[in-house]
Amino acid sequence: MNKDYILITGGTGKIGNALVKHFCTLGYSVCFTSTSQEKAIALQEEVAVTDAPQPVYVISDFSKENAAEKLVKELTDKSILISQIIHNARSLHYLKTEDHFLVSEENFMNEFRVNVVVPYRLTMELVLNKHPLKQVIFISSMYGVVAPSPRLYDHFESSSVIHYGVTKAAQIHLTKELAVRLAENNIHVNCISLGGIEGRTNDDFKKRYAKLNPLKEMLKESDFIAPIEFMVQHPDIKMTGHNLIVDGGWSIW
């Protein structure tokens, strides 16, 4: 479909995996990052059994120093040009608490680094290195918009850690800041804040979620793929700095 690549960070996670396979199926050239070579190869092999174009991958750990600069250098070495980027990387490792459910300074700062600092640096490195960047999309969360409900969780303090939502809120504001600062480059920057996604929880959790949500169910894969596909297929639409909330209505009450 096009010779420039979509870069999907966190390509072997639940959301990233689905996005990589979907956009390959649509004929896009896709590059994805992962911290695991084993998972990256497995994803390549899944796509290989179809007629879709083969994705390429770069092993990158956003918790490491100069992660953004190293990633862009590797893209340059591979002659890969990025026209759109979907910031989706995350690390479950930092979503832990200590005694009294406090979050350590290290985990708080590393979560902020993965969700905010490295995506900012990576975006700017692509711009400075003359990639034909048209659009930046952040995958955020409804918990960047509203605080979590204790009624949803069996163990609220450990299951819904405070620094996840705080850094996701910062990510939404980063979207707005970059939209302003990159407008003169004709680069659109938007965000999509997702509700809970099926496949990560048990039936009891799903029942509690349904009672707290107007549409009474969690998101399916198609629910988050469709709006992201719209953004990717229409990078020139006059929408920038927007946070599209796809949460079944969770955040309206």
Question: Are 63 and 92 spatial neighbours (Cβ–Cβ below 8 Å)?
Answer: no
- Any domain includes 200: no
Closest C-alpha among 252, 3, 34, 15 to residue 138: 15
Exposed / middle / buried, residue 160 (Cβ in 10 Å: 0-12, 13-18, 19+): middle
- Any domain includes 151: no
Give the count of domains, the chain. Answer: 1
- Any domain includes 113: yes
Average model confidence (pLDDT) across the chain? 95
Give the Cα separation of 76 and 3 in Å (integer).
15
Beta-bridged to residue 197, according to DSSP, are: 219
pLDDT tens-place string over residues 179-204:
999 999 999 999 999 999 998 789 99
CATH number for 106: 3.40.50.720
Question: Are 190 and 135 spatial neighbours (Cβ–Cβ below 8 Å)?
Answer: yes
- Any domain includes 213: no
Tokens of 2: 């096009």
- Any domain includes 131: yes
- Any domain includes 96: yes
- Any domain includes 214: no
pLDDT band at 87 (very low <50, low <70, confident <90, very high): very high
| Residue 68 domain boundaries | 5-146+157-195+222-252
Q: How crowded is the C-beta side of 253, counted as CA atoms within 13 Å?
A: 8
Rounded to two decimals, the pTM is 0.95
- Any domain includes 184: yes
Give the Cα separation of 13 and 67 in Å (integer).
18
